[in-house]
């Protein structure tokens, strides 16, 4: 990647949930490198309560950007309100003429074990994280297609990629964002819309009380920001899941094993049970380019087995 691509002069970015924590750091970093930034924040608590559409938190971040010589505007739209999101996008487009970058960062927590969780708390978390990102992405998608340029980041989580006790709602929403990214990166490719996922480990309001003071001090939100900047740069990758925390960066992959052709027939379940270790073996696993790769692998294995038997 060229270092020149990490200069965002002339670019317009929208960062949701940017009134504090990681979103604030994203907004400040983009502005410091020349981007014009829409600082979106509903002004609610980490569980989504008390969100009144107040732009106080967002405006404070805007003031920081302006004081440093940057350009920014505040917006208090809820990402769950598609009409409000559309109005936010229209305002940015009218003011600055384009929208190049969308960082879907807004989120809430309603942690409880699945047994104790109310269905409303499950639905709300999915609505904010998944549908919030869908709403914002849909609102900018046509603009990015028309200008033949776009960079979108979905904020996923290790809780979605790998699971975490008490976060079935959060994990489900965060893994859903990976699926959204996978398809949008394919659909956006022809118009240079690159879509990626960021899985951060950072000390924010959403992690207070969950970690020791020593660990929280090491997990500064700004340590995650480099991954975001790389994923929205001109020479950004696409369809990539970057993990970041405490200055360490990893990549997560959803892979497909080579598999084993079992065949059909009455004993297929028993044969599969006996071969399960071979089916799940990670040797020579692949990162499929699209969902069709699974079917292609299955058909190839079937045809190979058929050729042997004949």
If you average pLDDT over residues 266-275, what whole number do you get?
97
Q: Please check the confidence at residue 147 and state whether its pLDDT lies above 60.
A: yes
Q: Does domain 3-252 have CATH number 3.40.50.720?
A: yes
- Whether the pTM exceeds 0.85: the reply is yes
And the tokens for 249? 């960066």
Q: Please check the confidence at residue 205 and state whether its pLDDT lies above 70.
A: no
Residue 18 or 218, more confident: 18
Domain boundaries in the chain?
3-252, 268-309
Is 170 among the residues known to form the active site? yes
Amino acid 3: pLDDT: 61
CA distances (Å), origin 227, targets 5, 161, 174, 219: 14, 17, 17, 14
If you average pLDDT over residues 187-195, what whole number do you get?
98
Residue 166 or 45, more confident: 166
The residue from 170, 188, 221, 231 that is catalytic is 170
How far is residue 190's CA from residue 298's CA, in Å, rounded to a whole number? Answer: 28
- In the block, tokens 């003429």 appear at 97
How far is residue 300's CA from residue 253's CA, in Å, rounded to a whole number? Answer: 23
Segment among 66-70, 102-106, 171-175, 204-208 with least mean pLDDT: 204-208
Report the run of H or E that residue 150 belongs to, with start and end: strand 150-155
């Amino acid at each position: 990647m060229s270092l020149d691509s990490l200069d965002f002069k002339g670019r317009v970015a929208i960062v949701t949930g940017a009134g504090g924590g990681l979103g604030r750091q994203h907004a400040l970093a983009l502005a410091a490198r020349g981007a014009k930034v829409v600082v979106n924040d509903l002004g609610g608590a980490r569980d989504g309560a008390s969100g009144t559409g107040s732009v106080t938190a967002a405006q404070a971040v805007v003031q920081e950007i302006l004081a440093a010589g940057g350009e920014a505007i505040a917006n208090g739209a809820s990402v769950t309100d598609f009409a409000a999101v559309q109005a936010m996008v229209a305002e940015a487009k009218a003011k600055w003429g384009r929208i190049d970058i969308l960082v879907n960062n807004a989120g809430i927590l309603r942690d409880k074990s699945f047994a104790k969780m109310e269905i409303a708390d499950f639905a709300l978390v999915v609505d904010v994280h998944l549908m919030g990102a869908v709403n914002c992405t849909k609102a900018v998608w046509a603009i990015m297609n028309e200008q033949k340029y776009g960079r979108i980041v979905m904020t996923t989580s290790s809780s979605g990629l790998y699971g975490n006790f008490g976060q079935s709602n959060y994990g489900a929403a965060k893994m859903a964002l990976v699926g959204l990214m996978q398809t949008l990166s394919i659909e956006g490719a022809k118009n240079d819309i690159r879509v990626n996922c960021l899985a951060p480990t950072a000390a924010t309001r959403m992690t207070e009380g969950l970690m020791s003071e020593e660990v929280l001090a090491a997990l500064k939100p700004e340590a995650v920001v480099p991954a975001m900047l790389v994923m929205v740069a001109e020479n950004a990758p696409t369809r990539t899941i970057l993990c970041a925390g405490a200055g360490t960066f990893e990549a997560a992959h959803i892979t497909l094993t080579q598999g084993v052709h079992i065949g059909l027939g009455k004993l297929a379940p028993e044969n599969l049970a006996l071969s399960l270790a071979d089916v799940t073996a990670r040797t020579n696993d692949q990162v499929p380019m699209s969902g069709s790769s699974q079917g292609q692998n299955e058909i190839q294995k079937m045809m190979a087995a058929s050729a042997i038997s004949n």
